[in-house]
Structures are given as structure tokens and as C-alpha cells.
Structure 1
Amino acid sequence: MTEPIDSANPDTPALQQDRFWQDRGWTARIIKNEEDDGWAVEMTRDGDPEPALVGPWTMGRDKKNPKPMDGPAFSTLVKTAAEVIRRHEQQLHATLNKSVTVTARDGRRIRVALAIVPDEDNPSATLSAHDDEDDSELASVNVSPAFKLTSGSATSWIEADFARPR
């Protein structure tokens, strides 16, 4: 077992064993694959309650035990797991933040945005209108998190002089 310094937290020594690596803010754990006779690897970011990535792991030469973890494999797994988290965060952001740009009666282009704040006890959402030319805010109102932002609902809100939609 080697113990280089963890680059994410220089005070924490990395832990590198055949089936368990902890370094750079990540933990790789090689586990028995419950689905078949093989092995799997799970990658968990420090502080996260569950793995960001679980995938198959290569068998060793004896065809019974897993191949030991090594530096290049760990680095590849860190990169892959970080990408999975990044894509999940992008998808969540896209789900919670929507916008459409419409043309008002006076010919102005107005961008209408819906920002949802998920909360188990009290979710909320804000509908806002911005001048497409200079991005200045024209109006902002609280709406239900279930509000459906479409070109039609945005145009109706603008034509109602930004009165809170029902």
C-alpha cells in the first residue's frame, strides 16, 4: 500500500489497496456483483450518500478474484464519475430553469424565465421577464412550481401586464 498525499485535501493521506482506493475526494470500492458471478466497482464522491457510478470490474488472472485497482484505472474512474455527476447536475438545472423568448405586441423581444426552487416542505418558483436587448428585468412574480412555461403562457403573462398568473 502506498500513501501519496490526496490532492483534494493535502492533510489527508490517500489510501490505496487492491479493492479500496481513496484519493482526490473520491472512494473506489471493488465489490461482489450481486447480479452475476463477477465484480463491480463503485465510485463515491466524498460527502455523497451513495455512489455516483457503479460499473463492472475486470476479473483477475485466476478468474475468481477481481483485478487489483491501480492508478490509471482510478484516474479514469474519477473522470467518468465526475462526468456522470456533471451531466446529472446539468439535467437537474435544465429541469428547474426554463426560458422562452417571445415577441410582445409592441415588437420588443422579451425573454421569460421560470426558476423552480425544489424544497420538500415548501417548493417555490419565480417567473421573470427580461428585455432581450439589454437583459434588464421587466417584471418578476412568484408562481406555483407546477406552472408550465410555454410561448403561449409567456405571451399571455406579458399581455396581462405581468399580473401574477393563476
Structure 2
Amino acid sequence: MTNNNAYSAEDDAPQEEDTKIHEPRLWRDKGWTAQVIKNDDDEGWAVAMIKDGEPEPALVGPWTMGRDKKNPKPLDANAFGTLVKTASEVIRRHEQQLHATLHKSLMVATEDADYKILLDIVPDEDDPYAWLSAQDAGNTEIARVRVAPNYKLNQQNARAWIADDFRRPD
């Protein structure tokens, strides 16, 4: 026996066709929303690109005026595709920059061996920290210690850590 009045989370799940909007100032498709908005800084218009599920736009940029020089040019499939591509690239670059900030490495050559020294920052809101690790020439981890998230990874500090037999730096 099935209960036709039972609530299911699937009832609230948007269907792909239901979420598509193709209006002159609002397009929602392919996981993105493009909204043409009045530019408060001047007489022109701007377009905001928001990825589904994100609270802030990934991209806000100027938008072209229409033929009447008062209203914005309407969105269309080609413009929306270009905006999606541009906003996706902005997100990708941001992710690459964040990765580069959180994961650093350098090579250190000593008389005994060559080492790859890595610093991986864990940006925990309550207790951020980092892992300082060393790998040998075969990429086998030979040491790993927890350090402060603001530990400065450079040749001098890496060499001092190696010389101290990979003990946790002060």
C-alpha cells in the first residue's frame, strides 16, 4: 500500500526543464543564471553570472546597451554561452590560485640526498594548521610533521629542518 500524500525530498528537487528560463534580462540554464542589472555607478547596465548553489556572482561585468540607447541588449543563446565560458574560467583560475596558496613545494639538494619539501595548509575555521613533509627522490614520504599554518617554506627553513633530522620546527 502506498501513501500518495507522503512528502518526499524529490518533490522539491527542480527538474531540468522547469528551471530553464530564457528571458531578455534573465537566463537560467546549464547550472548558471545570467541576470542583466542596472549599473548603479553610471547610466549603463551590467550582467551578473551566478553558478547554481553559490551565494555570490562568479562574474559581474558591463552589459551592452540596446538599439534605443536606454535599455540593455537582450540576452541570447550565444551571449549566454560566452558568459558561462568566461565565468567558468574565472572560477577555475580562482581555484588554481587557492590551490597554489594552500599547497607549496620546493626541491632541496644536500650532500646526502635530494628532497622534495611540501607544505599543505589545512584552512580549518577553528584550528588551521599545516603539514610539512619530505619526500625522497622516489617520491616516498620520509617525514611529516604538523606546523603552524603560517609556516614559511623557503630554502633556509627547509635546509634547517633537514639538518635537524626532520624534527618539528619551533
Relative to the length of structure 2, the TM-score reads 0.89
1:48 is the counterpart of 2:44: no
Larger Rg: 2
**Cα distance, 1:104 vs structure 2:** 2.3
Select 1:29's aligned residue among 27, 35, 43. Answer: 35
Question: Which residue, 59, 64, 88 being the options, matches 2:65?
Answer: 59
Q: 1:29-82 CA deviation, whole Å, 9 max, x = no partner?
A: 000001100000000101111000000000011111000000000000000000
Whether 1:20 aligns to 2:15 is no
Indicate the SS of the match to 2:75. Answer: coil
SS in 2 for 1:89: helix
Deviation at 1:11, TM superposition (A): 3.2
Q: Residue 164 of structure 1 is aligned with which of 144, 161, 168?
A: 168
Corresponding residue number in structure 1 for 2:116: 111
Report the CA distance between 1:121 and its aligned residue. Answer: 1.1
1:5 counterpart residue number: none
- Give the whole-Å Cα distance in 2 for the aligned partners of 1:66 and 1:119: 43
Distance 2:107 2:54 in 1: 37
Q: Which amino acid aligns with 1:114?
A: L
Match of 1:78? 84
* C-alpha displacement of 1:10: 9.5
Equivalences for residues 139-158 of structure 1 within 5 A = 139-158=143-162
Size of the alignment, in residue pairs? 156
How far the C-alpha of 1:12 sits from its partner, in A, is 1.4
The answer for unaligned runs of 5 or more in structure 2 is 1-12
Counterpart for residue 38 of structure 1? 44
For structure 1, the residue ranges without an aligned partner over 5 or more in a row are 1-8
Cα separation, 1, equivalents of 2:29 and 2:41? 28
Match of 1:69 in 2: 75
Overall identity of the aligned pairs, in %? 60
CA distance in 1, matches of 2:115, 2:49: 44
Q: Tell me the TM-score normalised to structure 1 length.
A: 0.91
Tell me how far apart the structure 1 counterparts of residues 127 and 31 of structure 2 sit (CA, whole Å). 32
